[in-house]
Amino acid sequence: MISMTLLVALVGFALLFDFLNGMHDAANSIATVVSTRVLKPQYAVLWAASFNFLALFVFGEHVANTVGKGIVDAQIIDATVIWAALCGAVFWNVATWLLGIPSSSSHALIGGLLGAGLSKAGLHGIVWSGIFKTVAGIFVAPAFGMILALFLVLAVAWTSMRLTPLAVDKRYRKLQLVSAAAYSLGHGGNDAQKTMGIISVLLFSQGMLGDTFYVPLWVVLSCYGAIALGTMSGGWRIVHTMGSKITRLTPA
C-alpha cells in the first residue's frame, strides 16, 4: 500500500498524460479543418474538445477494462508499474510533440504498460490474449483506414465530376466539420478510456475498489475532462506537420 499523497500524485500524473494525449492528438482531428481554413484554430480546438467530452455519453468502458486488466494481470500491477508506464508514455508524447511528429499516445501507453509489466513479473504477468488483440488492432487500423480512404476519394471524385469548384468547396467544407467531429468523438471515447483503465487499476491495486475491478464515475468524468482540456490547448507543431508536410490540403 502507498500513502494517500503518493496515490493522489500518481492519479494527477495519469491525468497529465491524458491532457497531453488530447494536446498531442488534437492535430489528427483538426489539421484538415485548420489547414484548409474551414475553421480558425481557436474554433477548431473548441469543436474537437466538445466532441471529445461528449464521447462520455456515447461509449461504454470496454477499452478501460482492457487496459486495466487485459494487457497486464491486474493482480501484479502496483504503483511502481503505473509510474513506469506513465513515465514512458509521457516522455514519448512530449518528445514527439516538441519534434512535431504525429504519433499515437495510445501506443505509447500500451508499450509502457507492457514494458513495466514484463519488468515486474516477466512473461507470466502478461495477458497474451489482450496483447494479441491490441497489436492486431495497431496494425490493422492504418491499413483499413488507407483502403477505406482510397475508395472514398474515388467515390468523391466521381460524384463531384460535374460540380463547379465553388460547389465542391462549399459541400466539403461542411463535410469536414462532420468528419472532424466524428474523429474527435472516437478519440475521446477511445483514448480517455485508456487513462480511465490506468487510474482504476491503480485504485484496485490499493484495495480501494474492493474485490471487483470497475471504473468509478469520478474517474470517468476527470479523464474525459482532461483529454478535452488538452485538445483545447492545441498542438500546433503537429497540426502544421499533418496539414502541410504530409499532404497539401485544400477545402475541396
- Count of other CB atoms within 10 angstroms of residue 155: 10
Residue 124 and residue 154: Cα distance in Å, rounded?
48
186 domain residue, yes or no: yes
147 domain residue, yes or no: no
100 domain residue, yes or no: yes
pLDDT of residue 246: 47
Is the pTM above the cut of 0.85? Answer: no
* Closest to 116 (Cα-Cα) out of 67, 155, 47: 67
133 domain residue, yes or no: no
* Closest to 30 (Cα-Cα) out of 183, 156, 173: 183
* Residue 219 CA: distances (Å) to CA of 29, 63, 139, 233: 24, 14, 29, 21
Q: Which three cell numbers stand for residue 94?
A: 512530449
21 domain residue, yes or no: yes
Which range of residues forms the domain containing residue 59?
Answer: 4-127+164-246
252 domain residue, yes or no: no
188 domain residue, yes or no: yes
Written as tens digits, the pLDDT of the chain (252 aa) is 789 999 999 999 999 999 988 887 777 777 778 777 888 877 888 898 999 999 999 998 989 999 998 999 988 999 999 999 999 998 988 888 788 777 788 888 999 999 999 999 999 999 999 899 888 888 898 899 899 999 998 998 898 888 888 888 888 888 889 988 998 999 999 999 999 999 999 999 999 998 889 999 999 999 999 999 998 886 555 555 544 554 555 555
Residue 110: which residues within 8 A CB-CB, separation 6 or more? 67, 71, 134, 138, 194
From first CA to last CA, the distance across the chain in angstroms is 57
Q: How many structural domains is the chain composed of?
A: 1
pLDDT of residue 214: 93
pLDDT of residue 112: 93
45 domain residue, yes or no: yes
